[in-house]
Amino acid sequence: MRAKVAEHATLFYSDGAVVWDDYLHHRQFAISETAELLCRKFTEFTDVDELLAPLAEGDRAALRKVLDELVEAGVLIVEGSPEHERERRLLAAWRDWGPSARHFHFASRTLADAPYQGSEEHDAVLDAKLTEEPPPAPFRSLGRTAVLLPRLDGTSKWSSAGLLDVLLARRTTREFGPGPLPLTKVAELLAVLGGPSPVRSRIGRSGTVFKTSPSGGGRHPVELYAHVRGVEALEPGWYHYDGLAHALEPIGVTWGPAEMTAAAGDQDWVGQAPLVLAYTGVLERTRWRYDTSRAYRVVQMDVGHLSQTAYLVATAMGFGIGFTAALRDELVEQALGCDAYHEVVLGLSALGPLPE
């Protein structure tokens, strides 16, 4: 028999134990020190009998028992077995993206027997949680002197554009024309993206809020920041958008085109944009309601919804816009003062006048 360690799992330490995390089948169990050391001998297909042959009979029998248990547990895969064929197909499909992407996808993938709570049961759990753990605030303020923005009044010419016309006109723009963006339109764009819905502005007692873009459970974890390089009446630099106050709070960091280009994965067109919006995810907003790993997928979906809204509003306004997730997250985190354990960088939208 030839066997090797399964490649759809990882090892980690927990309370002094080595834990086998089979993310493909959602199983976790501790393995012994002997088992962990044996696994190191099977990083590739190895003949079990040849490996054990030099040992004394008693040792050979004891280790063979451990190896059989590892095969039974799926830690080791036997060459030519159905498990080997399934793993071969898995690795062929996911090899280019590496083990981290495999782990993220399959650990947050739901299986056929995944339990789900009914809405009434889930509401009851949240009601009980409210008495012990208040929800995180759905809007954030840095507490700094802010630039109050013109309010959205719904009478702007761009708001009357037909939806189908805007959808068909939507394009990713990687070249911008000269001239600054008008503050009024930038303010309206931010209000549509990050402010509470003017028709349903009430914040729920569990921290839910309605906005123009959908969000899992109404949690809206996506936070908005703006880097200004060419917007009328605004000093250059990074700002945080306070959606409740409808105001821009200066962060105190100003980037030149080279710094923005570096943060955007060396994309010059982002560095040249007069306005760049940065999207971050405040994980606790979503995690408070959904405590499973799958909820991390929902945060990623939320920024997709929001960036499409940005595309459509910018298109209706006559702006050019392009979204990118090709970032150097750490550079953006440093500029915004984000704690990467709690607030993750998700993407950028670069905006400017359309080229002439």
Q: Are residues 97 and 163 part of one domain?
A: no
Identify the three-state secondary structure at position 163: helix
Q: Are residues 220 and 311 part of one domain?
A: yes
Q: Are residues 97 and 154 part of one domain?
A: no
Q: Which helix (H) or strand (E) holds 253?
A: none
Q: What percent of the chain has pLDDT over 70?
A: 100
Instruction: Place 282 in a pLDDT band, splitting at 50, 70 and 90.
Output: very high
Contact 172, 321 (CB under 8 A): yes
Q: Is residue 122 part of a domain?
A: no
356: pLDDT strictly greater than 90: no
The stretch 51-62 carries a mean pLDDT of: 96
CA dist., res. 290 & res. 301, Å (int): 15
CA dist., res. 321 & res. 323, Å (int): 7
pLDDT digits (tens, 9 = 90+) for 283-333: 999 999 999 999 999 999 999 999 999 999 999 999 999 999 999 999 999
What pLDDT is stored for residue 237 in this prediction? 98
What pLDDT is stored for residue 9 in this prediction? 96
Domain harbouring 218, CATH code: 3.40.109.10
What pLDDT is stored for residue 73 in this prediction? 97
Q: Is residue 241 part of a domain?
A: yes
State the residue for tokens 């802010």.
Answer: 146
Structure token pair of residue 219: 């949690």
Q: Which helix (H) or strand (E) holds 213?
A: none
Q: Are residues 38 and 159 part of one domain?
A: no
Q: Are residues 229 and 84 part of one domain?
A: no
pLDDT digits (tens, 9 = 90+) for 214-224: 999 999 999 99
Q: Is residue 120 part of a domain?
A: no
Q: Are residues 173 and 289 part of one domain?
A: yes
What pLDDT is stored for residue 233 in this prediction? 97
Domain harbouring 79, CATH code: 3.90.930
pLDDT digits (tens, 9 = 90+) for 95-110: 999 999 999 999 999 9
230: pLDDT strictly greater than 90: yes
Q: How many CB atoms lie within 10 A of CB 238?
A: 22
CA dist., res. 287 & res. 290, Å (int): 5
Can you state the percent helix, strand and coil of the chain, rounding each to 5? 40, 20, 40
252: pLDDT strictly greater than 90: yes
DSSP 266-278: T-HHHHT-SEEEE
Q: Is residue 52 part of a domain?
A: yes
258: pLDDT strictly greater than 90: yes
pLDDT digits (tens, 9 = 90+) for 1-35: 999 999 999 999 999 999 999 999 999 999 999 99
Q: Which amino acid is at 12?
A: F
Instruction: Place 132 in a pLDDT band, splitting at 50, 70 and 90.
Output: very high
CA dist., res. 42 & res. 48, Å (int): 9
Q: Is residue 211 part of a domain?
A: yes
What pLDDT is stored for residue 236 in this prediction? 98
179: pLDDT strictly greater than 90: no
The stretch 133-159 carries a mean pLDDT of: 94
The stretch 261-266 carries a mean pLDDT of: 98
Q: Are residues 143 and 102 part of one domain?
A: no
What pLDDT is stored for residue 101 in this prediction? 96
Instruction: Place 194 in a pLDDT band, splitting at 50, 70 and 90.
Output: very high
Q: What angle do CA 310, 312, 313 make, to 5 degrees?
A: 65
Contact 328, 262 (CB under 8 A): yes
What pLDDT is stored for residue 268 in this prediction? 98
Instruction: Place 262 in a pLDDT band, splitting at 50, 70 and 90.
Output: very high
Q: How many CB atoms lie within 10 A of CB 153?
A: 10
Q: Is residue 119 part of a domain?
A: no
Domain that holds residue 192: 138-353
Task: Among 107, 125, 154, give the residue marking a domain's end.
Answer: 107
The stretch 148-173 carries a mean pLDDT of: 94
pLDDT digits (tens, 9 = 90+) for 144-155: 999 999 998 888
Q: Are residues 167 and 54 part of one domain?
A: no
Task: Among 64, 88, 107, give the residue marking a domain's end.
Answer: 107
Q: Is residue 129 part of a domain?
A: no
CA dist., res. 232 & res. 249, Å (int): 16
Task: Among 107, 128, 157, give the residue marking a domain's end.
Answer: 107
Q: What percent of the chain has pLDDT over 90?
A: 97
Q: Are residues 100 and 147 part of one domain?
A: no
Q: Are residues 339 and 196 part of one domain?
A: yes
Q: Are residues 144 and 30 part of one domain?
A: no
Structure token pair of residue 342: 């709690």
Q: Are residues 203 and 61 part of one domain?
A: no
Domain count, the chain: 2
CA dist., res. 177 & res. 119, Å (int): 50
Q: Is residue 114 part of a domain?
A: no
